[in-house]
Amino acid sequence: MYHDTRDASKRVSFRTAVMQGMDPATGGLYMPDEIPSLPKSFLSRNLVPSFRDIAFETAKPFVGDEIPEDELMAIIADAYPFTAPIAPIDPTTYVLELFHGPTCAFKDFGARFMARTMSYFNRSETDSLHILVATSGDTGSAVGSAFHGVPGIDVTILYPRGKISPLQEKQLSTFEGNVRALSVEGTFDDCQKLVKTAFTDEALRGRLRLSSANSINISRLLPQSFYYTYGALLIRDRGRYDNDIDSPSLIVTVPSGNFGNLTSGLIARKMGAPIRGFIAATNSNRTVPDWLAGGSYRARPSVSTLSNAMDVGAPSNWERMNALYSLDEARRLIAGYWLDDAGTMEAIRQCNDRTGYIIDPHGAVAWRAWDDIRSGAMAALLEGKVVPPLSSGLVGTAATAPEWARDCAEKKCVGLILETAHPSKFGETVREAIGREPSIPERLERVMNLPDRSQSMANDYAQFRDWLLANLG
Ligand SMILES: *Cc1c(COP(=O)(O)O)cnc(C)c1O
């Protein structure tokens, strides 16, 4: 069973949690009542299980008897014709490449599982299901691509006009048929607010069956935990060939915006993935690092940066992190780090100079955070040298440092960087940093030549509602 983060007495099935997205009455998000453990025998197999086997074992307890095992396996096989390969870039640093799906971003992992799960649950319905999704960049294309052509379901994507890259815009505005795009005069937070308002509009819900597809949907969150477990087991398996640290602590660095990805990591760790801790790496939208360092949560308007898929000032999934862990517990696990645009450019360049790896601006934020923390920032923090609040870096004090801080200062950690997008999706930024453009996968090149079909929308709820009623239903 699942419960509402704002009213724990409201409990729903997996099906309801998936189909509703969030609780329309409270605006709360759904969380599983219990995070089950993966069997020890499964986690300690000599041969690392395949990505699909990990996906199946992880999903099974969350789905219960609501989807039969053979159907669940079919959903997973259909969702993941690709996996998440690991690239070692130095003896203690690995990159988990999450861009091998159709839209070249990590959101394919969540969106494809969600689309197939919803389609399974929607089989018995007669009315269409309308999915509303606000995107700051990559969500829209991943969700559009995942649902494109799925019968009985249509998708409306809202994105902030002029605030996403031209390629990202092409990727979400060129669908035909059941996937539409609205370019909104406003920020990502405005788009998200329009969607949230629609969900709490009872009159509208009486006329349209609405659902969400943002990372607030539990069926997008759960599958993102698959690759944490997969990556952690692969590193445990091969680590001894790469370095001579005895039982290193694995620290996963997550480039974060709305904090769905990091929340999925927390779930994987609770289930038994061999992960010691996390680094929450953000751009100048530093709401969560500031919460970890200062103890008070202050949502704020988002600011535009080079890593624009992380431009979120009021991250929805903070509510879930808070449901999983108290502030003190979160501090023991997670270090907070933020990086401005100048630092991001420099990180893309240095990562390439030092390792030969071409990393995108989101991954670059994570790489810099890990590299900085392992090579002195954490040791300095423990010695009482505090980062001044106005410059980028590790935030907090010795008192708020995670419990793995000492391991890190003593060089007993290895790092896993989540690379959330293919660098060619941010080709211009990468070219400016390293002097050449990364090669473009064919699946991206194709979409560049399709006509834009998006429609304009004011940042105005009444207009948005009228559009929905005129165009859907
Ligand atoms: C969405 C996105 C992120 C942020 O993920 P959250 O789950 O929102 O924290 C990071 N990088 C890329 C490329 C993204 O598309």
What is the Cα–Cα distance from 206 to 203, expressed in whole angstroms? 5
Q: Give me ligand 1 centre to Cα 219, in Å.
A: 16
Q: Please compute the mean of the pLDDT values over residues 86-104 and round it to a whole number.
A: 97
State if residue 208 touches ligand 1 by the CB under 6 angstroms criterion.
no
pLDDT in tens, 197-215: 998 899 999 999 988 776 6
Distance of CA 342 to the CA centre of its chain: 23
For ligand 1, atom 11, the nearest C-alpha belongs to 420
Check if 111 has its Cβ closer than 6 Å to any atom of ligand 1: no
Question: Rounded CA gap, 13 and 58, in Å?
Answer: 17
Residue with CA at minimum distance from ligand 1 atom 8: 258
303-326 mean pLDDT: 93
pLDDT at 354 over 90: yes
Question: Closest ligand 1 atom to the C-alpha of 360?
Answer: 13
Mean pLDDT over 173-193 rounds to: 94
- Indicate whether this model's pTM tops 0.85: yes
420 lines ligand 1 (CB under 6 A): yes
pLDDT tens-digit profile of 382-431? Answer: 998 876 666 789 999 999 999 999 999 999 999 999 999 999 999 999 99
- State the average pLDDT over residues 304-315: 93
Q: Residue 368: pLDDT band by 50, 70, 90 thresholds? A: very high
Neighbours of 33 (CB within 10 A): 9
Predicted local distance difference test score (pLDDT) of residue 116: 93
Cα(46) to ligand 1 centroid in Å equals 33
Residue 35 makes CB contacts below 8 A (sequence gap 6+) with 267, 270, 271, 324
Alpha helices for 7-130 (secondary structure H): 14-20, 40-43, 51-63, 69-79, 107-122
- Cα separation, 216 vs 224, in Å, equals 12
Q: Is the CB of 221 under 6 A from ligand 1?
A: no
**Tens digit of each residue's pLDDT (9 = 90 or more) over 224-239:** 999 999 999 999 999 8
Q: Which residues are CB-contacts of 132 (< 8 A; sequence separation ≥ 6)? A: 156, 158, 195, 198, 199, 210, 211, 212, 213, 468
| Residue 259, ligand 1, Cβ within 6 A | yes
For ligand 1, is residue 168 a contact (CB within 6 Å)? Answer: no
- Spacing of C-alpha 81 from chain mean position: 20
138 in contact with ligand 1, CB cutoff 6 A: yes
pLDDT score at 387: 65
**What pLDDT digit, counting tens, does each position of 4-50 carry?**
999 999 999 999 999 888 887 888 999 999 999 999 999 999 999 99
Q: What is the mean pLDDT of the chain?
A: 94
Q: Is 256 in the pocket of ligand 1 (CB under 6 A)?
A: yes
Helix (H, G, I), strand (E, B) or coil at 254: strand
Structural domains for the chain: 221-434 (3.40.50.1100)
Would residue 227 be called left, alpha or beta, if left means φ above 0 and alpha means ψ between -120 and 50 degrees? alpha
- Contact residues for 235 (Cβ-Cβ < 8 A; gap 6+): 86, 94, 250, 414, 416
